[in-house]
Chain A
Amino acid sequence: MMTRALIEHIEGEASLYFDTRGDKITWAEIAFPHFRGMERMLEGRKATDALVITPRVCGICGHAHLMATVRAIEAAYAEAGYPVELTRKAKSLRELTLVLEMIQNHFKWLYLVIMPELEKLGIEGLAPAPLKGAYAAAQATKILALFAGQWPHSSYMIPGGVTCDPTHLERIQAAGLLDELIAFFEKETAGVDLDTLLTFASCREFNPLQSDFGRLEKGLIAAGMHKKGMAYDRFVVLGEHGFTVRARLKHTRPMKADASQVATEAAVCRDEISHARNVRYGKHFYEVGPLARAIAADNALIKNMHRRYKDSVYTRVMARVYETALLLQRARKLLEHMELSEPSYIPPVALERVTAAGEGIVEAPRGPLIHRMRLVKGVIAEYGIITPTQWNLGSSVMSDPAPAQKAMVGAVDIAEATFIFRSFDVCSVCTTH
């Protein structure tokens, strides 16, 4: 018998339909009911208008959409025979603001979603404090805004670079704000200084921590989450940045990753119309996101967790929170080495000369985000968006479940299954755009 659960306090809402034996979950289907038609809206517009429209796909990762759009336009330029030149300054500014958006995402997820939801499973002593997440996220986006003007919904990346022209004044301001954010992270989230946390190589090192991260680690074990929620143990990272390694992995064995193998199909849900699509690499489903990125980058701590507890909820959740630390360090490095003497922007040839297709890939907070466009004289003829959540949260048939479906089967009850579902960091607005 199918039982429906409405999932809220995600970005938008989703429905889960469960088959149960006793309380135990034997099958789950996922529906995302809302659809907005973002891709169609772009057709007929000049490509640069997409820099303003696509960030509005998603209020929490709009900056990743902006970057995917600008990369897609630049790829179309290159395809048309006019490669776009970017200075190191423009590249590092783009990466810095992308990293800051990921940081705000992870803070919100930890404090507004995962801690309160874990407590609902009956885990004591977590002391969830949702507003800490809002505070830390606002601090991260303040730094972002110094360069990008505002968050959410900046459009400061343009083909050929960025619109801003920061001086050392902004760089020093940003470094001060970042130090404050890192101090908050060390005191409240980690309970240990950032550099020490980044040397951790085993989950045992969390034992003495009196902090939110420490309590989360213990709480996940107490809830048995180290034995729950395994998906395929196959991962994909596609976006290329200073902080990622592009790879496809079976367990931890790396293989080549080629974005042309990525294809989508309609999601399956028998009880409700879903506007979601499933994404596969070749014939298979893969998991994407912070866990995939950590394994691809050979991160010692997360690989240790993975060795013990495989791709369980524990490893997935810990990888996301730990990524916050890696990204804070990355932001610090980017600011320290910010080269301000180069131009921000090198004008490319007129957009009207571009009749070509382009693809832009970015690692968004939840995994690879792909924008594909076809331009005729600089005007959008076709636009396609593949979002990270479509990789993880697909809904397929019983003989061939998508990652989140596979992870939920076997859960002891619906409450546990929905927690497993949330371990993927659900975003409904991205899933259905």
Chain B
Amino acid sequence: MHSRLYKPTLIWLQGVTCNGNTHSFLNLPYLPQLLERFEVLYHPLLPCTQSLAEIARCKRGCNVLVFEGAFDPEMERAGTTLKQLVGHYAGEAGHIIAAGSCASFGGIFKASAPERNSGLAFSGEHPDGPLRGRVGKVINLSGCPVHPEWLGYALMSIADGRPVAVDDLGRPTALYRHMAHDGCLRNEYFEWKVDVEQFGRKEGCLFYEHGCRGPLTHASCNRTLWNGVSSKMRVGTPCFGCTEPDFPRRNLFETKTNMSIPEEVPVGVSKRAYLTMTGIAKSFKIKRLEERLIDDD
């Protein structure tokens, strides 16, 4: 039993954003149960007890601050700058969640205004956002947008009073310890270096020519599927590395290669070992991996 008195208060603020994290959050299957665990003072779409104008007066604090979007110090919400708003609520809150890559590292909207916009604690991979140095307090849930289940995990942990361990970039290890590549249905093709012949096929890996960042990206998209059912690679789209501080990169649908070998090799693998392995793997001809899987089409 959770007594109503002990519900942590929550405020969800928006910086420079597309609202994608808000909409991603609404996809959480246990959203009603999660909302029961908090007293939502402000959320841009969900029922809440205060108006934005009241929040902007910065009179009270909150236990949990969720921030979505890039931080632009001069941007105003209801007439109060983000600098003031974040300064006030981040000071009061016990936990701060940066929801999405913009709030974590700057993301898309740092790319649009690099001089002005940043994440909360980081700017790109450098820990020099306005809330720098608050390791452990700022939880970075990068992703463009944040996966609803990642947000669910962080908020439920807070509600339960369970500490959330984070990596060097402030991301919960339970969620970002894996690579996006883990659990991808194309792994067998990856092992035997068989690339997809062209887009629009379920046979083949997307790493060698089609831009996939799965083996270079910390995320659990193929373990905890998107919308409960899918992921980019399951529908033949390459991973764009949206959880990493360098998102959005350039030329997202192609792999930079050197003598037809990807320039970047999977995280933690030595380039030399990788080249040797590739040579061996490629020398096999595996008929099963060269055929279409289903021929009714």
Question: Does B235 sit within 8 A of A, measured CB to CB?
Answer: yes
| Residue A161 at the chain B interface, CB threshold 8 Å | yes
CB-nearest residue of chain B relative to A147?
B235
The smallest beta-carbon distance between A266 and chain B, in angstroms, is 20
C-alpha gap A46/B47 in the complex (Å) = 41
Contact A152 B248 (CB under 8 A): no
Taking the complex as formed, is B104 at the interface, i.e. its CB lies under 8 A from any CB of chain A?
Answer: no
Q: Is A257 part of the contact surface with B, judged by Cβ < 8 Å? A: no
Closest CB of chain A to B175's CB: distance in Å? 16
Q: How far apart sit A148 and B150, CA to CA, in the bound complex (Å)?
A: 20
Q: Which of A58, A112, A163 contacts B45 (CB 8 A)?
A: A112
Contacts of A9 in B (CB 8 A): 44-45
Report if B19 contacts A (CB, 8 A): yes
**Taking the complex as formed, is B234 at the interface, i.e. its CB lies under 8 A from any CB of chain A?**
yes
Q: Does A207 contact B (CB under 8 A)?
A: no
A90 to B51, CA, bound (A): 44
Q: Is the CB of A152 within 8 A of B45?
A: no
Contact across chains for B237 and A156 when beta carbons are under 8 A apart: yes
Q: In whole Å, how far is A130's beta carbon from the nearest beta carbon of chain B? A: 5
| B179 CB to nearest A CB, Å | 17
Q: Which residue of B lies closest to A41 (CB)?
A: B112
Residue pair B18, A108 in contact (C-beta under 8 Å): no
Name the B residues within 8 Å of A36 (CB-CB). 16, 109, 112-113
Contact (Cβ within 8 A) A134 B16: no
- B296 interface neighbour in A45, A155, A341, Cβ under 8 Å: A341
Whether, in the assembled complex, B192 has its beta carbon less than 8 Å from a beta carbon of chain A, the answer is: no
* Cross-interface CB contact of A150 among B21, B45, B230, B294, cutoff 8 Å: B230
Contact with A along B233-267 (1 / 0, CB 8 A): 11111001010000010111100000000000000
Residues in A whose Cβ lies below 8 Å from that of B136: none
- In the bound assembly, the distance between CA atoms of A142 and B14 in angstroms comes to 25
A6 and B229 in contact (CB under 8 A), knowing A164-B235, A345-B200? no
**Chain B residues whose CB sits within 8 angstroms of the CB of A51 once the complex forms:** 252-253
Decide: B227 and A151 in contact? CB cutoff 8 A. yes
Comparing B57-65, B73-81, B122-130, B268-276, the segment that makes contact with chain A is B73-81
Query: Is residue A92 within 8 Å, beta carbon to beta carbon, of the partner chain?
Result: no
Interface residues in A, total, Cβ within 8 A: 69
Q: How far is the CB of B77 from chain A (nearest CB, A)?
A: 7
Question: Nearest residue in B to A342 (C-beta to C-beta)?
Answer: B297
Q: Is the CB of B44 within 8 A of A153?
A: no
Indicate if A191 sits at the interface (CB-CB under 8 A). Answer: no
Which of these binds chain A: B23-31, B156-164, B281-289? B23-31
Contact indicator B47/A340 (Cβ below 8 Å)? no
Q: A1-28 CB contact bits vs B (8 Å, 1 = yes)?
A: 0000010110111000000000000000
Alpha-carbon gap, A254 to B233, bound state (A):
44
Which chain A residues border B230 with CB–CB below 8 Å? Answer: 145-146, 148-150
Known contacts A56-B20, A161-B200; is-contact A145 B75 (Cβ 8 Å):
no
With an 8 A cutoff between CB atoms, is A80 at the interface?
no
Residues of B201-232 whose CB lies within 8 A of A:
201-202, 221, 226-232
Q: Tell me which residues across on chain B come within 8 A of A304, comparing CB atoms.
A: none
Interface of B is mostly: loop
Interface residue? A165 (CB, 8 A): yes
Verify if B53 is at the interface (C-beta below 8 Å from A). yes
A contact residues around B27 at 8 Å (CB):
134, 137-138, 141-142, 151
Cβ–Cβ contact B229 & A145, under 8 A: yes
Q: Contact: A59 with B20, CB < 8 Å?
A: yes
| Residues of the A chain whose Cβ atoms lie less than 8 Å from the Cβ of B294 | 167
The reply to whether the CB of B52 lies closer than 8 angstroms to some CB of chain A is yes
Cβ-based interface call for B187 (8 A): no
Which of B17, B53, B76 is close to A59, meaning CB atoms less than 8 Å apart? B17
Question: Is B108 positioned at the interface, with any CB of A under 8 Å from its CB?
Answer: yes
Which single residue of chain A is at the shortest CB-CB distance from B296? A341
Is B144 located at the chain interface by the 8 A CB criterion?
yes
Q: Which residues of A contact B227 (CB under 8 A)?
A: 138, 141-142, 144-145, 150-151
Q: How far is the CA of A108 from the CA of B237 in the complex (A)?
A: 28
A162 vs B200: C-alpha distance when bound (angstroms)? 6
Query: A60 within 8 Å of B by Cβ?
Result: yes
A56 near B108: Cβ-Cβ < 8 Å: yes
Determine if A347 is an interface residue (Cβ-Cβ < 8 Å). yes
Which chain B residue lies CB-closest to A150? B226
Which residues, 67 to 97 on A, are CB-close (under 8 Å) to B? 90
Residues of chain B contacted by A355 (CB below 8 angstroms): none
Beta-carbon nearest neighbor of B198 in chain A = A347
Could you list 18 further interchain pairs (A-B, Cβ under 8 angstroms) beyond the known A341-B297, A345-B200?
A13-B78, A34-B16, A36-B16, A36-B112, A51-B253, A60-B23, A137-B27, A142-B227, A148-B230, A149-B231, A150-B232, A151-B27, A156-B235, A168-B296, A173-B229, A341-B296, A343-B200, A344-B236
Q: List 27 A-B contacts (CB under 8 A).
A: A6-B53, A12-B14, A12-B19, A40-B112, A41-B111, A46-B251, A49-B250, A52-B252, A59-B17, A90-B200, A131-B35, A134-B31, A138-B29, A149-B232, A150-B227, A152-B20, A153-B20, A155-B240, A161-B200, A164-B200, A164-B236, A165-B235, A166-B235, A167-B297, A341-B296, A342-B297, A344-B236
The 4 A-B residue pairs with the shortest CB-CB distance, nearest first, are A345-B200, A344-B200, A59-B20, A150-B226
Q: A residues near B, CB below 8 A?
A: 6, 8-9, 11-13, 33-34, 36-38, 40-41, 45-46, 48-49, 51-53, 56-60, 62, 90, 108, 112, 116, 130-131, 134, 137-138, 141-142, 144-156, 158, 160-168, 173, 340-345, 347, 429
